[in-house]
A = this chain, B = another copy of it.
């Protein structure tokens, strides 16, 4: 061992001991005849000192040290004259007797501080240096803890972690698979799993009762901001359960993590909300309930005032934003432009301002003071508040109002990342109709069970009936982000068959794509259900961050490139031949 202690370990009790430390030179400075070196490792920073009385050799050695040099330092622990209360080792310093150079270092391309001076691209290229910064060390440390506590909890609940294969069969349902050519089976490909969905269901058929896995998943999608081609899931499945059992078990997991990772106790049951309420009150299937500002349905009360925009609209809704009656006309105009951007897509924004001076609105022409007062009272708005109203097609308008609600939450500081508001959203529609392809798609995936009470509608051939079928599905939402999703699965092969039929798959197609799962169900499948959590996102929320990239040691950029390793890359012609493949890619022009 190159050290007796770490750089985060020494305290006042160690004074007088001779110790050996090893680490990186964070900074050096001279003061009078003294040299100070801050030595850093994963565990902390310790101050090293060389004074006039030290040998010339030692002084020369210290003078030659650059940032990020790796050294071994031997000396005696002494109490500091001027203590540093900001770091745990701040009471002591090491009076050096020896320095051994372990490795020199080129000057790093950016500073290794909490706020680095390096740009995003540069830091991506030198990820191994960026990873030395505190925020990233904290992020990966939190991630380790999250994973470990997840395993502790699930192990204590009799879940078995079972590894499922990464080289699986391609199933062209849902997102695009990454594929892997097989050399031993020419012309054939494996796929990388988008999730172990089918395997975990097979494990239930096999009687494993409670399965989990913290597992990598792969999706070859055009990457939106903050999406990664490979991501990690906490993947779980249970047998002989109903919805309540699943929700309780994984609410238990979330509470365990809040307690053991963040030290926060959640004693009450997490709130549960139907999809319909989530859309109706929050304009989102993943409401942020850290703050109120619920959407009010004004369709009844706002019609009939000769304002054609309202009168012609199938739906009118509004939100009360507290305490912003002082917003200027300019601010309101800016907000109106904001909601009219294509990302929100509203046609306009009606406001009602309730101030000491009275009630003022952009539709004063059509609404009397009493009309407006009635609306404001109905919404619970009082002096100092502002009401924003939109109208149009119901769902679209709700979503736009929901987007405005989140924006106002941001502007008013109502979305504190240290406050956590978990929520279950339930009773999603089973199917989504797509006009373009003229067919239904599974809102979750084709193994999600319809609610038992909707089975009649599920077997109906009328589109209107099928649209009303609810899924026995649920999402775990944290602070406005969908962190987990799952369902009670179909365990009956007839219902599964019907599902494929509804999705427009022929028997042969279904057999080709999911045959082994459908066959498995014939040999005694138990009732079962499960859930999967997006682990990268779960970690970033626990860390109070928006971006998942800091919570992944070696992430890829928006075009799926690893900037550090410069992957993907061309491969040898010989290997292409072995795989019986020919590239017909256009020549790279850049």
Please list the residues of chain A having a beta carbon within 8 angstroms of any beta carbon in chain B: 1-3, 6, 22-24, 40-43, 68-70, 102-106, 108, 126-129, 131-132, 137, 140-141, 143-144, 147-148, 151, 155, 160-170, 172, 176-192, 198-199, 202-203, 205-210, 216, 218, 220, 222-223, 229-230, 232, 240-242, 245, 491-492, 516, 520-527, 552-554, 556, 559-562, 564-572, 575, 578-586, 588
Contact = CB atoms under 8 A, between A and B. Distances in A.
A131 B206 contact: yes
B187 A160 contact: no
Nearest to A178: B180
A163 to B, nearest CB: 6
B1 A571 contact: no
A503 B275 CA distance: 62
Given A190-B568, A565-B516, A571-B189, A241 B1 contact: yes
Contacts of A148: 151, 155, 161
B169 A567 contact: yes
A132 B24 contact: no
Contact of A588 (B42, B103, B187, B207): B187
Nearest to A187: B585
A40 B187 contact: no
A208 to B, nearest CB: 6
The number of times this chain is found in the oligomer is 2
A158 to B, nearest CB: 8
A565 B523 contact: no
B172 A103 contact: no
Contacts of A586: 186-187, 580
Given A24-B524, A128-B206, A137-B208, 6 more contacts: A1-B240, A22-B240, A128-B520, A140-B208, A169-B562, A203-B553
B169 A524 contact: no
Contacts of A179: 180-181, 571, 575, 579
A206 to B, nearest CB: 4
B553 A164 contact: yes
13 contacts: A1-B242, A42-B208, A70-B526, A102-B527, A103-B492, A127-B202, A132-B207, A143-B163, A166-B192, A170-B567, A186-B585, A189-B570, A516-B565
Contacts of A162: 140, 143-144, 553
Nearest to A492: B103
Contacts of A177: 575
B141 A525 contact: no
| A184, A199, A588: most-surrounded residue (chain B CB, <10 A) | A184
Contacts of A562: 165, 167-169
Nearest to A68: B524
A198 to B, nearest CB: 8
Contacts of A588: 187
A560 B580 CA distance: 17
A112 to B, nearest CB: 9
A2 B2 CA distance: 58
Nearest to A126: B523
Contact of A180 (B23, B180, B241): B180
A415 to B, nearest CB: 28
A565 B160 contact: no
A554 B162 CA distance: 10
B567 A167 contact: yes
B176 A183 contact: yes
A77 to B, nearest CB: 19
A461 B68 CA distance: 34
Q: Considering the complex of A and B, which 9 residue pairs feature the smallest CB-CB distances, nearest first?
A: A187-B585, A105-B524, A169-B567, A186-B585, A131-B206, A580-B585, A188-B568, A2-B240, A68-B524
